Amino acid sequence: MIPATVTTALALLSLALHAWQWLAGRRFPLRRDAPAVAGAPTVTILKPIGALDEATEAAVASWLKLKSPARAEILFGVEASDTSLHERLENLIPANSGIPARVIPCPAPSAAANPKVAKLIELEKHATHDCLIVSDADVVVEPDFLRRFLAEFAHSGAAAACCLYRIRGGRSLAQKLEQASNNIDFWSQVAQAVSMGPIDFALGAVMAVSRDSLRRIGGFEGIAGHIADDFQLGNRIHRQGGVIHVASMPVDCRHSAASARDILRRQIRWARTMRVCKPAPYFFSILSNPTIWPLGWFLTAPTDPVHAAVFAGCVLLRVVLARRLAARFLGTDRTGGIEWLAPLRDLLHALIWLSAFTGNRVVWGNRTYRLKPDGTMRPDPT
């Protein structure tokens, strides 16, 4: 039995850390527009594509409809053997393009290579401009996103920039839980990290970097064997003295339909990835869970009405703060009710956190890998 003084201290600490996270989310500058900057950089947008379903096709089309403030191009990377995907993208471009776009056949990745980075290595060879934007396939943007993002990047004076991302769509319980994890907690945790000083990572939904900064860290080739390409890119730029800027305009990610099993695998992959990237911070991150520690305190005296009332108050506070964070991030009061799932998300997250330390096997798409302590990966033969 854990002493009541310990459970009380852990419960109070978790509530204090969560209050700090909420305050950081409240203070983070989310805005619709960015300062005007003369001489916007010319830019090449690199989009590795692994598959094209209805959701991904809509996401790709949104990038083709961008209004560009300067010379820009989009390069889509597909595996050379996937002629069907190549043809679908070629057909999609003329129907939507406001920006010159090309489809680049890419060699198949080696067994131990990050498939996204393998495509980026090939795409970078074909890039015309010195400013590179890397974006995931499922990211949806508004027509004026490029103008705003490039203006803020130039105004920040940073070596690289990235965007927070909102998960949209999905109706199943598993999908709603994933939305709660991202649209309530993940973004506000990033805001919390920003409030503490320069960050040492980037977010992979949208990243911008100059080719000069990229070459200084060994190019995409230097991170080809790592599972967390976004973390590695930002971390290596940070270690070279560069600043990573988190832009004020979030983008939307519309994940393809996925089963509860697929979502669980994705969450475990992210957890194990974060564990190898930042072992100590990830280990201690469980202390900020605002449900399990008050629950642990309640269970020391479950028949005590005072304990029950205080625990109920903690759960209600969690829901209220979750709603405010979600509404601010989503830009609407219509949160889809994900705030009510926040306490359940906390309980499940504790199990996922634990799973990060019970194995190194991850499933990514249709491939299975084993993570090494340095964050590189190797194929799993089993």
Mean pLDDT of the chain: 92
Predicted pLDDT at 133: 97
Considering the domain architecture, whether residues 156 and 119 belong to the same structural domain is answered as: yes
Considering the domain architecture, whether residues 23 and 58 belong to the same structural domain is answered as: no
One-letter amino acid at 359 equals: G
The residue-averaged pLDDT of 238-267 equals 91
Considering the domain architecture, whether residues 332 and 356 belong to the same structural domain is answered as: yes
| Residue-wise pLDDT tens digits, 305-343 | 999 999 999 999 999 999 999 999 999 888 999 999 999
| 186 is a domain residue | no
Which run of H or E residues covers position 273? helix 260-277
| 35 is a domain residue | no
The residue-averaged pLDDT of 163-182 equals 92
Predicted pLDDT at 34: 58
Considering the domain architecture, whether residues 239 and 295 belong to the same structural domain is answered as: no
The span from the CA of 120 to the CA of 136, in Å, is 11
Beta-ladder partners of 376: 226
Confidence class for position 280, pLDDT limits 50, 70, 90 = very high
Considering the domain architecture, whether residues 231 and 290 belong to the same structural domain is answered as: no
pLDDT for residue 291 is more than 90: yes
Predicted pLDDT at 256: 73
Q: What is the pTM of this model?
A: 0.93
Structure-block tokens of residue 259: 């089963």
CB 110 within 8 A of CB 118: yes
pLDDT for residue 67 is more than 90: no
| 152 is a domain residue | yes
The span from the CA of 362 to the CA of 374, in Å, is 15
CB 160 within 8 A of CB 202: yes
pLDDT for residue 4 is more than 80: no
| 114 is a domain residue | yes
- Degrees, nearest 5: CA angle 292-295-296: 85
Considering the domain architecture, whether residues 237 and 292 belong to the same structural domain is answered as: no
The residue-averaged pLDDT of 100-121 equals 90
| 358 is a domain residue | yes
| Residue-wise pLDDT tens digits, 12-58 | 999 999 999 999 999 999 976 655 555 567 899 999 999 888 889 99
Predicted pLDDT at 35: 59
Structure-block tokens of residue 123: 């795409």
Counting residues of the chain whose pLDDT is more than 90, the rounded percentage is 78
| Residue-wise pLDDT tens digits, 340-382 | 999 999 999 999 999 999 999 999 888 899 999 999 999 887 6
Considering the domain architecture, whether residues 223 and 297 belong to the same structural domain is answered as: no
The span from the CA of 97 to the CA of 100, in Å, is 7
Predicted pLDDT at 203: 96
Task: Pick from 67-71, 94-98, 124-128 the range whose average pLDDT is largest.
Answer: 124-128
Predicted pLDDT at 36: 55
Q: Which of 212, 230, 258 is the last residue of a domain?
A: 258
Q: Which domain, by its residues, includes 23?
A: 4-27+271-379
Considering the domain architecture, whether residues 105 and 221 belong to the same structural domain is answered as: yes
Q: Which residue would you say has higher pLDDT here, 37 or 114? A: 114
| 182 is a domain residue | no
Considering the domain architecture, whether residues 150 and 290 belong to the same structural domain is answered as: no
Q: Which residue would you say has higher pLDDT here, 33 or 144? A: 144
Considering the domain architecture, whether residues 298 and 229 belong to the same structural domain is answered as: no
Considering the domain architecture, whether residues 82 and 57 belong to the same structural domain is answered as: yes
Counting residues of the chain whose pLDDT is more than 70, the rounded percentage is 96
Q: Which of 373, 293, 311, 376 is closest to 12 using CA atoms?
A: 293
The span from the CA of 51 to the CA of 365, in Å, is 10
Considering the domain architecture, whether residues 277 and 150 belong to the same structural domain is answered as: no
What is the DSSP-derived secondary structure letter of residue 185?
A: I
Query: What CATH number is given to the structural domain containing 112?
Result: 3.90.550.10
Number of domains in the chain: 2
Predicted pLDDT at 209: 96
One-letter amino acid at 139 equals: V
339, HSE (Cβ side, Cα atoms, 13 Å) = 19
The span from the CA of 369 to the CA of 102, in Å, is 31
Structure-block tokens of residue 318: 């969690």
pLDDT for residue 162 is more than 70: yes
- CB neighbours of 252 closer than 8 A, spacing ≥ 6? 139, 140, 141, 165, 166, 167, 168
Strand blocks (E) in 211-351: 244-246, 251-253
| 129 is a domain residue | yes
| 34 is a domain residue | no
